[in-house]
Amino acid sequence: MGKGKLKIAVTGGAGFIGSAFVRLLINRNKKVIVIDKLTYAGDLARLKEVEGRYKFYQADICDETAIESIFKKEKPEIIVNFAAETHVDRSILDAGAFLQTNVIGTRVLLDLSKKYRLKRFVHISTDEVYGDIKKGKFHENSPLKPNSPYAASKASADLLIRSYIRTYGFPAIIIRPCNNYGPWQYPEKLIPLAILAVLKGERVPVYADGKNIREWLYVEDSAGGILKILEKGKIGGIYNLGSRQEMQNIEVVKSILKKMKQPGSLIKFVKDRPGHDFRYSLDSRKVFKELGWRPKLGFTAGLDFTVEWCLRHKDWLLDAGKEIKK
C-alpha cells in the first residue's frame, strides 16, 4: 500500500489496544478518526497525549444510521475494527451485548464499508476463536472451535467476514492476536486486576490452580504488528499475531507480586471459570516470515513497564476498577 495520507477510521479507539493503535498512527502522522461508544471499557483519557490530533465520534457500531453519517461526512478509506465487548467472564453472565456488538456491529461496518467502497477493512479478531490446545500451536487454517460466548461471537464475525471476502471480493484482513497486556488495560483483565488488588490491599484471585497458559504480547508491539499487517498484509488474508511467550497465569501473578514486593500468600485460588480454556498458542510464522514483524519487548521487561505504569496511574486504575462486576 502507498504511503499517502489515507484516512483511517478506528472503531473502539478509546479502548485498550485501539488507543495504542491510534497513538501509533498519530505519531506516524496518519489521518485518524476514532469511533467509539464509550462503554464501561472505553475512556478518552487513553488518547490524552494525542488530544486535538484526531477526530472523535461517540457512536455505537450497531447504529447503522449514525455510522453511515460518519462515513458520508468523513469518507474514510480504511477501517480498523477494534470495537467489541471483550471480557470472557461478562459473556458467561450475559452473551447479549457480545452478539450485538461483536457480530451485528461487525455486519453494519461490513455493509457500510462495502457501500462506500473502503479500500481495506482490518478486523481485530482473537486467538480464542480456535479454542484451546494442550500441545502444538494453532495456525491460520486451524478450525474455529470457540469455547466461551465471547470467543463464539468473535468467531462468528470472522466467518461473516470470510463470507464477504468470498462472495463480494471484499477487501478484508483478519488479525488474530494473542493476549495483550500493558498500559491502560481495563483492570478486569488478569494483569491489571492483580496489580489493582495489591494497590487496594486485597488478595489476588486466580482461577483454579492457576496452571492455565496464555501467550502474552505487549500492547505497543501489538499495535505495531497490526499496522504492519494493514500496510503489507494480503487482502483476504488471516494473520495470527503472537509473541511466542507463553506463561502460566500463576507465574504471571507471582512475577507481579515479586515486582510489587508482596508475598505469594496474597494469592487466593478461586473456583474455575466455567469452560475455561487451558492453553492458547499461536503459530505466527506467517507474520514473522512474510512480513518480517517481531515483537520488540520481552515479557519480563513488558511486565516491569506495566507495573511501573500502573503505580504512576494508580488513580486511573482505582477509578476504572470501580465499575468491575464481581
* Catalytic residue IDs: 127-128, 150
Region near ligand NAD per CB under 6 A, out of 35-43, 68-76, 161-169, 284-292: 35-43
The span of 80-88, 166-174, 202-210, 275-283 binding ligand NAD (CB under 6 A) equals: 80-88
Q: Is 164 in the site for ligand NAD (CB under 6 A)?
A: no
Distance in angstroms (rounded) separating the CA atoms of residues 158 and 11: 16
CA–CA dist 198, 193 (Å, integer): 9
299 binds ligand NAD (CB under 6 A): no
Does 60 help bind ligand NAD (rule: CB under 6 A)?
A: yes
- Radius of gyration for the alpha carbons in the chain, expressed in angstroms and rounded: 19
| Residue 17 binding ligand NAD, by CB under 6 A | yes
* Long-range contacts (CB closer than 8 Å, 24 or more residues apart) made by 63-72: 63/108, 64/108, 64/111, 64/112, 67/35, 67/108, 67/109, 67/112, 68/112, 70/9, 70/33, 70/35, 71/9, 71/112, 71/116, 72/116
24, 25, 34, 41: which one binds ligand NAD (CB under 6 A): 41
Helices 299-312, 314-321: inter-axial angle, 10-degree rounding? 80
Binding status of residue 101 toward ligand NAD by CB under 6 A: yes
Q: Is 23 in the site for ligand NAD (CB under 6 A)?
A: no
130 burial level (CB within 10 Å; 0-12, 13-18, 19+):
buried
- Residue 91 near ligand NAD by CB under 6 A: no
Give the number of residues in contact with ligand NAD, rule: CB under 6 A.
30
Q: Which of 11, 240, 243, 281 binds ligand NAD (CB under 6 A)?
A: 11
Measure the CA–CA gap between 214 and 280, rounded to whole angstroms: 5
Q: Which three cell numbers stand for residue 226?
A: 497490526
Task: Verify binding: residue 42, ligand NAD, rule CB under 6 A.
Answer: yes
Residues numbered 173-192 forming contacts with ligand NAD, rule: CB under 6 A: 177, 179-180, 186
Tell me the Ramachandran region of residue 122: left when phi exceeds 0, alpha when psi lies from -120 to 50, beta otherwise: beta
Nearer to ligand NAD (CB atom), residue 222 or residue 255: 222
Regarding 153 and contact with ligand NAD (CB under 6 A), the answer is no
Site string for ligand NAD, 106-125 (x = CB under 6 A): ------------------x-
Q: Is 18 in the site for ligand NAD (CB under 6 A)?
A: yes
Residue closer to ligand NAD (CB basis): 31 or 36: 36
d(CA 155, CA 163): 12
Hey, which residues between 122 and 151 contact ligand NAD (CB under 6 A)?
124, 126
Shortest Cβ 66–ligand NAD spacing (Å): 9
**d(C-alpha 237, C-alpha 219), whole Å:** 22
C-alpha dist (Å) from residue 258 to 79, 204, 254, 304: 41, 13, 6, 11
* Contact predicate 36/15, CB 8 Å: yes
Query: In terms of CB distance, is 2 or 223 closer to ligand NAD?
Result: 223
Q: Which residues bind ligand NAD (CB under 6 A)?
A: 11-12, 14-18, 36-39, 41-42, 60-62, 82-86, 101, 105, 124, 126, 154, 177, 179-180, 186
